[in-house]
Structure 1
Amino acid sequence: MSASDTTADVIVVGGGIAGVSVAYELSGSARVVLLEMESTLAYHTTGRSAALFLETYGGEQIRALTTGSRSFFEQPPDHFDSALVSPRPLLEFGVVGRGHLVESLHRSVLPLVADAELLDADRCCELFSLLRRDVVECGMYEPRALALDVAALHQGFVRGARSNGTEIVRDSAVAALERGASTWTATTRDGSRFQAPVVVDAAGAWADVVATAAGVPGVGLRPLRRTIFMVASPLGEASRDWPNLSDVEESFYANPEGAQFLCSPADETPCAPSDAKPDELEIARAIDAIDATTTLGVRSVSSSWAGLRTFTADRNFALGEDPEAPGFFWLAGQGGYGIQTAPATARLAAALVLGRQAPPDLVDRGLDVERLAPRRVMSS
Structure 2
Amino acid sequence: MSKIFDIAIIGSGIAGAGLAAMIGDQATTLLLEAEATPGYHATGRSAAFWSETYGGPAIQPLTSASGPRLKAGGFLFPRGIAHVADQDGLDALKKFQESFAGTPVVLTPLDRAAIEATGARLKAGWDHGLSEASCEDIDVAALHAHFLSVAKKTGTELHTHNRVTALTRKEGYWFIETTRGSFKAARVVNAAGAWASEIAKLAGALPVVITPYRRTMIQLQVSPTPPAAMPIIIDALTRFYFKPEAGNRFWLSPHDEHPQPPADVAPEEMDVAIAIDRFQQAADWKIEKVERTWAGLRSFSPDRAPIYGADPKAEGFFWCAGQGGFGIQTSSAGSMLAACLLLEQALPDWLKDVDPERYSPKRFQV
Which residue of structure 1 aligns with residue 361 of structure 2?
374
Q: State the identity as a percent.
A: 36
Which residue of structure 2 aligns with residue 165 of structure 1?
155
Kept in 2: contact 1:55–1:66 (CA 8 A): yes
Which residue of structure 2 aligns with residue 109 of structure 1?
100
Residue correspondences, number:
365
Q: Which amino acid aligns with 1:124?
A: I
Listed one character per residue, the Cα deviations across residues 320-354 of structure 1 (whole Å, up to 9, x for unaligned) are 11111121001111001010000100000001101
Kept in 1: contact 2:193–2:299 (CA 8 A): yes
SS in 1 for 2:212: strand
CA shift, 1:299, in A, is: 5.0
SS in 1 for 2:52: coil
Q: Please give the alpha-carbon distance, in whole angstroms, between the structure 2 residues aligned to 1:7 and 1:330.
A: 20
Structure 2 residues not aligned, in runs of 5+:
none
Q: Which moved more, 1:53-62 or 1:168-177?
A: 53-62
Q: Please give the alpha-carbon distance, in whole angstroms, between the structure 1 residues aligned to 2:337 and 2:206.
A: 23
Does the alignment pair 1:281 with 2:266? no
Q: Which amino acid aligns with 1:164?
A: T
1:46 to 43, 63, 67: 43
Q: Which amino acid aligns with 1:101?
A: A
SS in 2 for 1:165: coil
Q: Please give the alpha-carbon distance, in whole angstroms, between the structure 2 residues aligned to 1:114 and 1:22.
A: 26
Kept in 2: contact 1:245–1:255 (CA 8 A): yes
CA shift, 1:216, in A, is: 2.2
CA shift, 1:114, in A, is: 4.5
Which residue of structure 1 aligns with residue 165 of structure 2?
175
CA shift, 1:70, in A, is: 0.9
Listed one character per residue, the Cα deviations across residues 256-297 of structure 1 (whole Å, up to 9, x for unaligned) are 002100001111001110000012111111111111111123
SS in 2 for 1:233: strand
Which residue of structure 1 aligns with residue 80 of structure 2?
89
CA shift, 1:110, in A, is: 4.6
Q: 1:65 to 1:260 in 2, by over 3 A?
A: same
Which residue of structure 2 aligns with residue 120 of structure 1?
111
2:350 to 355, 361, 366: 361
Which residue of structure 2 aligns with residue 325 of structure 1?
314
Kept in 1: contact 2:206–2:314 (CA 8 A): no
Does the alignment pair 1:198 with 2:195? no
Kept in 2: contact 1:38–1:172 (CA 8 A): yes
Q: Which amino acid aligns with 1:253?
A: Y
RMSD value, Cα:
1.6
Instruction: Please report the TM-score for the alignment, with normalisation by the length of structure 1.
Output: 0.92
SS in 1 for 2:104: coil
Kept in 1: contact 2:244–2:251 (CA 8 A): yes
SS in 2 for 1:292: helix
Kept in 2: contact 1:319–1:332 (CA 8 A): yes
Q: Please give the alpha-carbon distance, in whole angstroms, between the structure 1 residues aligned to 2:254 and 2:120.
A: 21
Q: Please give the alpha-carbon distance, in whole angstroms, between the structure 2 residues aligned to 1:109 and 1:117.
A: 12
Instruction: Please report the TM-score for the alignment, with normalisation by the length of structure 2.
Output: 0.95
Which residue of structure 2 aligns with residue 80 of structure 1?
none
CA shift, 1:370, in A, is: 2.1
Kept in 2: contact 1:186–1:195 (CA 8 A): yes
Q: Which amino acid aligns with 2:119?
A: F
Q: Please give the alpha-carbon distance, in whole angstroms, between the structure 2 residues aligned to 1:138 and 1:199.
A: 49
Q: 1:353 to 1:267 in 2, by over 3 A?
A: same
Q: 1:321 to 1:303 in 2, by over 3 A?
A: same
